[in-house]
Structure 1
Amino acid sequence: MTQPPPPPPNQPPGPPPGGFGAPQDPPPGGFGAPQDPPPGGFGAPTPPPNQPPNQAPYGYPQQPPAQPPQQPYGYPQQPPTQPQGQPQYGYPQQQQPYGYPQQPQQPYGYPQQPQPSTVVAAGAGGGKKLSTQMQIVIAAVVAVVLIVGGGVWYANSGGGEKDDNAGGTTGATTGGNKDGASGGLGGNGKEKVPANTKSSLKFQLPQPKVDDTTDVSGSWITDKAFVKTDVNSIVGRDLDKGTPLWTLALPGQVCGTSRHTTADNKTAILFEATKRVGPKFYQPCTEVGVVDLNAGKLVWSTSVTGGNAGDDKARFSEVTLSGTTVAAGGTDGGAAFDLANGNPRWKPKANAESCYDMGYGGGEGLVAARKCGSYNSQYVVIQNLNPISGAPISQYKMPTGVEYAAIVSTKPLVVAADVGDTAGDGSGISDFFSIDEKTGKLKVKIAADAERFAAKCRSTEVETCTKVVVGNGRLYLPTEEREGSTGEYGDETNEILAFDLTTGKQIVQKADAGDRWTMVPLRMDGGNLLAYKMPPYDMGGQIVSIDGGTMKPTVLMENPSDKTVRDAEGTFSGDYAEILYANGRMFISDVMISKPSGTSSYKEYLALGFSTN
């Protein structure tokens, strides 16, 4: 392929010339909106709980301890002058942290005019108000200008209304009408209210038997099939019966999947080259492939060498898809491939800054989370990439104290991180960063109190966040469970709140789950937000469509409250299970299964299928 242009003059010490792809040294000059965050590490894994009925399920298997980057790789490039638009897709997954506290680094990136950044605590109001005298002066000046220009100008101001939500925080205006109305957001969803919202359980798949904890993350819906990762295979099943339509056998266990699919239902996976055998039950995750979810065929598979792996196959921990590019990342470095044929677009390469791509966010854009620096003074850079060449369109250096970062959305670009390991709850999130993907400038940082909000990002993975959705220029976050209005045992509830990605202010409207229910946001549907309502002990779950502007929920599905059905549904947790909904059908499936303990008396399921049809 064509090599990228040489670095501009007066660069800081960079890698040797040559190479290609996403890895590269940052160009000179300040960029973004430099912060002074607290020092410290990042990420804390959620301890894997046991999984009796109606409790959170077991955790995730761990890869052998990652070695610190020994052989740096990647090549410097100048950013292209124009970003390239990409098609879109949509959905999240797992793992666990390592690393050391970092030394403060100088911000760097593309030259730009100094710009103040905004830091807003989630749930807090905006900045300082102008004095009355200053407002009068400004109003007078504006009036003179308008009169001179012969124009007439009318304005509606938001007014800083308060939100009387249970958390007791102060809301902010939506930036639209003074009554906090939605301003035309919401609607245009494909998911319609069925004639009968009562669903029935169509099938229940028992867990396959395994000898050790096994990753089975990955599920998709097509027009004809519910597709689910199994043991050493991927299986497409009838939407209503759950019976196999096709089985794609693989040489080893699936160890990574993309939540994104193409318009013709292709997706990317990672898998192990050989089957697992005792006593260690582990194989390196080295194979990258594309699966046709309609035909049940492996379109291609390949592996690459280089980076920290040297002459061995590079190991990857996650894979994503953007346009015609498949991108995989991990501690050995990042690589990208042509969706059609698997030809490499870039491979892990060494560079003088010890930089490597930990992983990528896909969908409408392709964004790399890139770690650089010596082992005891590493820092993270977020790079919006040209998905064909890997050249950076823009980049933003994360604050000191960030060891890992997660891509919540690529367009608009939203990044989650635990700055200085301050979250303290294993969520991997202390703040959300809204970044201009074209310039790399920070729009706003939204501080998210880990004790108040329930979103989660797996610390060492880049595209694994759950319970958080971006759409309508907003960040939708659920609150943690709290006591309901009755104060009785089992009367927990929560809300979904929204934050403006330009101002960071909380939107006045909110969606209440209601007493004894808690809500988990799933995905956008046009301007609406789909959410799963986890039920109380005596009822079935629900799927609701929340208007993205007014935050008013509408019930699309109500699952059966029969004891046997609700007990089966209750074995899955909103924290870990994959929940898909489309066209009146809901599928809930496990992401991790383990060897039965021998003392358990309850049934465990790989997946359940519900339908209102």
Structure 2
Amino acid sequence: MTEPPQPPNQPPTPSGYGHLPGPPQQGHGFPPPGENPYAQAPAHPPQPGYAPQPGYAPQSGYPPQPPTVPAYPAHGLQSPPPGAPGQPPRKKLPLLIAASVAAALVLGGVGYLAFGTGDEDPGQPVAQESGDAKPSGSPSVDVGDGSGPGGNQQTDLNAGRKQGEDKVLWLKTTKIDGPGAGVGTHGQWVVGDTVAKTVGKTIKGYSVADGKEKWTITFPADICGVTRKTTDDGKTVVLYENGPSETADCNQMRMVDLKAGKEGWSKEVSKESAFDMFLDPSLAMTGDTVTVNRLTRATAFRISTGEKLFGSPAEGCVPGAYAAGNGKLIGVATCYDKDSIVEVQDADPVTGKKTWTYRLPKGWRVARVYGVDPIVLHLTNATTKESSVVVLGPDGKQRTTLSGEGSFSTECGVSRDDSLQGCATAVVDAGTLYLPTRTAPGKANEIVAFDLNTGKAKWRVPAGEGRTLEPLKAANGQLIAYRRAETRQGGEVVAIPADGSTPTALLRHPSGPSAPIESSFYSPDVDYSDGRFFISTTRLVAQDKDEKLLMVFGK
């Protein structure tokens, strides 16, 4: 496919080079309910983003909307749409959303598009874990007899383990008392010898070796915003609501030391204008700076002290969200003029001052920022149904446009954390974008590596045997990927060499009683760290019985 010539500093010419969103991605496979007491099917499948159309009226009682709409979709910690099974009415409906991200987007002969996620340093790998990292310590195995740390399961999860298969280290289950719709459990952090997870208004820390609870932090109200990032010394920032009511705002902020299991400073995020509404805000972190992103404004704070650093300007091109990483900050701003032009700006993480802008043509919006170093932007046009991914240089000038053929999935649904940067199954490293192709029932997918310098595909690695393979992260020149579990076959963590040659297995999960549990986590958070694989649910449904929360595999 030949790319049409482009003017400088512009996305692809719209005429004829767009694409239509593909069908919603179903996420991780689910076995039939009832095969295992801890392998319940989810209350509802993951949902893609959505875009209310101009003229949509907000809920009664909201102040008037600003004259234009933000440039990015407000995702944050939203739950699936109201009306889904087990789902309560949404507390507040978001305002106009200019750009929608479906969970799977089709490229094909009529489209230019490639997209991923990350904020990696071009001179360094995304993560520092080695491909053959061994777990530290000697974890005990929760055999499921009710006496271990995982809960009250009665099944030996490692029963019938085959030669060459690794172990379930532990399974944590929990029982919640709450509304029939359940509670969100977003956020999963692996920090040293601790893995932390949210449930409703609490964060709990567990030993990575054996799952024993190390600490609990309880907030005054439900946690409503998290970022998967932490500082180098294990601190993060979370948002929680300012009360228990259905009309509570998500405007309370607290720093948490995940290594020590201790709370730091707390403060309220103040409104910066009459149109500043805390509807599903999100967080972005880099260095000692965290930004609280809303629909029309964003505010930056110092993580170590809670001191306010800067806020969005009162007029002009106003950033409503920042993407962050590697000491860099990129703002996505809406220009409040007759054309509602969107521009991308660099920003100093301490002062917010910009040195360059990348201005989009009329009608184009930033749906996602997949990388900030290098800068990788997923752009959409709601009117023409076109999408494009461009790579910018450090000066903000367009470097290349990615192109490819096929159907790709990055699970950019509304339930992901980090909002603007939160696509679960796409990875960017120094010069490569890794994408999984979208799967069909019984068909194997592939991971495709795109060169960020040329925009072309470098290699394709098939999952094999009708399986689904998805990127996790890049490490030491390799891509770490997860081969999803199926009802009767455990998952696998593999390392794919930089040249796309034969993958090497790092962990082979057992295919006995644990496989249907592993394969049925609802829209899970997953991670591979220090030789262990972590998978956890992002929602618990109150059914007055134990539900799986967090599962860990290792040697």
Q: TM-score band, normalised by the shorter chain?
A: 0.7 to 0.9
Q: Would you say the 8 A contact 1:36–1:400 is kept in 2?
A: no
Q: Structure 1 residues 420, 395: closer, same or farther in 2, change over 3 A?
A: same
- Cα distance between partner residues in 2 of 1:267 and 1:388: 17
Find the aligned partners of 1:207 and 1:62 in 2 and give their Cα distance.
30
Question: Which residue pairs with 2:375 in the alignment?
Answer: 413
Contact 1:58 1:592 in 2 (8 A): no
Tell me what 1:223 maps to: 192
SS at match of 1:539: coil
Spell out, residue by residue over 1:80-114, the C-alpha distance to the aligned partner (whole angstroms, 9 max, x if none): xxxxxxxxxxxx97678863779xxxxxxxxxxxx
Pick from 222, 232, 250 the counterpart of residue 263 of structure 1: 232
Aligned-residue offset at 1:545: 1.2
Name the SS of the counterpart of 2:283 in structure 1: strand
Q: Which residue of 2 aligns with 1:463?
A: 421
TM-aligned CA deviation for residue 253 of structure 1: 1.2
Offset at 1:480? 0.9
In structure 2, the residue matched to 1:149 is none
Q: What residue in structure 2 maps to residue 369 of structure 1?
A: 332
| Structure 1 match to 2:223 | 254
Q: Give the aligned residue type for 2:445.
A: N
Contact 1:495 1:510 in 2 (8 A): yes
Task: Confirm or deny that 1:493 pairs with 2:444.
Answer: yes
Paired AA for residue 515 in structure 1: E
Q: Please show how residues 91-102 of structure 1 align to structure 2 within 5 Å.
A: 99=96
Contact 1:305 1:348 in 2 (8 A): no
Aligned residue in 2 for 1:70: 66
Partner of 1:18: none
- Find out whether 1:503 has 2:454 as its counterpart: yes
Q: Which ranges of structure 2 fall in alignment gaps of 5 or more residues?
A: 1-6, 33-40, 51-57, 71-75, 82-93, 100-105, 110-124, 136-163
In the alignment, does 2:401 pair up with 1:445? yes
Q: CA deviation at 1:416?
A: 1.7
- Which residue in 2 is equivalent to 1:234? 203
Q: Secondary structure at the match of 1:381?
A: strand
**Equivalent-residue separation in structure 1 for 2:384 and 2:424 (angstroms):** 19
| Aligned equivalents of 1:217, 1:571: Cα separation in 2 | 17
Alpha-carbon distance in 1 for matches of 2:533, 2:190? 10
Summarize deviations over 1:257-287 as a string: whole Å, max 9, x none. 112111111112111122x34xx4x521101
What's the TM-score once normalised by structure 2's chain length? Answer: 0.72
Distance 1:581 1:207, change over 3 A: farther
1:323 aligned residue: 287
Report Cα offsets for 1:446-491 as digits up to 9, x if no partner.
Answer: 2466x61111334793122221100140111111114xxxxxxx63
Distance 1:363 1:253 in 2: 30
Q: Structure 2: how far apart are the matches of 1:51 and 1:186?
A: 27
Aligned-partner SS, 1:462? helix
Instruction: Select the residue among 125, 131, 141 that pairs with 1:191.
Output: 131
SS in 2 for 1:269: strand
Q: Secondary structure at the match of 1:439?
A: coil
Among 454, 457, 461, the alignment partner of 2:409 is 454
In structure 2, the CA distance between the partners of 1:502 and 1:332, relative to structure 1 (3 Å rule), is same
**Aligned with residue 208 of structure 1, among 176, 186, 203:** 176
- 8 Å Cα contact 1:303/1:314 also seen in 2: no
Q: CA deviation at 1:347?
A: 2.4
Q: Within 2, Cα distance between the matches of 1:70 and 1:41? A: 30
Letter in 2 for 1:440: G
- Contact persistence 2:471–2:481 (CA under 8 A): yes
Q: Distance in 2 between matches of 1:72 and 1:422?
A: 19
Distance 1:72 1:98, change over 3 A: closer
Aligned-partner SS, 1:327:
strand
Is the 2:409–2:435 Cα contact (8 Å) retained in structure 1? yes
Cα deviation, 1:418-460, whole Å, max 9, x if unaligned, reads: 333666xxxxx93322111x211111222466x6111133479
The structural deviation recorded for 1:337 is 0.4
Deviations 1:182-240 (A, max 9, x none): xxx99985131659761224123235343135332111112221100112111101113
* 1:57-456 equivalent positions in 2, closer than 5 A: 57-59=44-46, 69-70=65-66, 99=96, 190-192=130-132, 198-206=166-174, 208-211=176-179, 212-274=181-243, 276-277=244-245, 280=246, 283-309=248-274, 317-352=281-316, 355-373=318-336, 377-420=339-382, 430-436=387-393, 438-447=394-403, 452-456=407-411
Contact 1:467 1:477 in 2 (8 A): yes
SS at match of 2:349: coil
| Structure 2: distance between partners of 1:343 and 1:415 | 30
SS in 1 for 2:489: coil
1:46 and 1:516 map into 2 onto residues whose CA distance is 20
2:356, 2:395 within 8 Å by CA — same for their partners in 1? yes
Is residue 2:487 matched to residue 1:537? Answer: yes
CA deviations over 1:303-349 (Å, ceiling 9, x no partner)? 23233446x88566100111111111111410000111011011244
The aligned counterpart of 2:520 is 571
Identical-pair percentage? 26
Distance 2:133 2:400 in 1: 36
Matches of 2:232 and 2:479, distance apart in 1 = 21
Does the 8 Å contact 2:478/2:497 carry over to 1?
yes
Separation of aligned partners in 2, 1:554 and 1:525: 14
- Assess if the C-alpha contact under 8 Å between 1:317 and 1:330 holds in 2: yes
Q: Is the 8 A contact 1:258 1:268 kept in 2?
A: yes
Counterparts in 2 of 1:271 and 1:236: CA distance versus 1, 3 Å: same
Does the Cα contact within 8 Å between 2:377 and 2:389 map onto a contact in 1? Answer: yes
Q: CA deviation at 1:568?
A: 1.0
Residue 587 of structure 1 corresponds to 534
Are 2:25 and 2:411, in contact at CA under 8 Å, matched by a contact in 1?
no
Secondary structure, in 3 states, of the residue corresponding to 2:420?
coil
2:494 touches 2:507 (CA, 8 Å); kept in 1? yes
Establish whether residue 557 from structure 1 lines up as the match of residue 507 from structure 2.
yes
Post-superposition offset of 1:251: 1.1
CA distance change for structure 1 residues 67 and 475 in 2, over 3 Å: closer, same or farther? farther
**Residue 438 (structure 2) aligns with:** 480
Distance 1:194 1:247, change over 3 A: closer
Superposed CA deviations along residues 145-173 of structure 1, whole A, max 9, x for unmatched, are xxxxxxxxxxxxxxxxxxxxxxxxxxxxx
Partners of 1:536 and 1:342 lie apart in 2 by 45
Alpha-carbon distance in structure 2 between the residues aligned to 1:395 and 1:479: 33
Q: Which amino acid aligns with 2:447?
A: I
Q: Is the alpha carbon distance of 1:542 and 1:321 closer, same or farther for their aligned partners in structure 2, counting shifts above 3 Å?
A: same
How far does residue 504 in structure 1 lie from its aligned partner after superposition?
A: 0.3
- Counterpart residue type for residue 286 of structure 1: N
| TM-score, normalization by structure 1 | 0.66
Residues 300 and 44 (structure 1 numbering): CA distance in 2 closer, same or farther, change over 3 Å?
A: farther
- Over alpha carbons, which structure has the higher Rg? 1
Kept in 1: contact 2:175–2:542 (CA 8 A)? no
Query: Within 1, Cα distance between the matches of 2:45 and 2:396?
Result: 38
How far off is 1:62 after superposition?
Answer: 10
- Supply the AA of the counterpart residue of 2:479: L
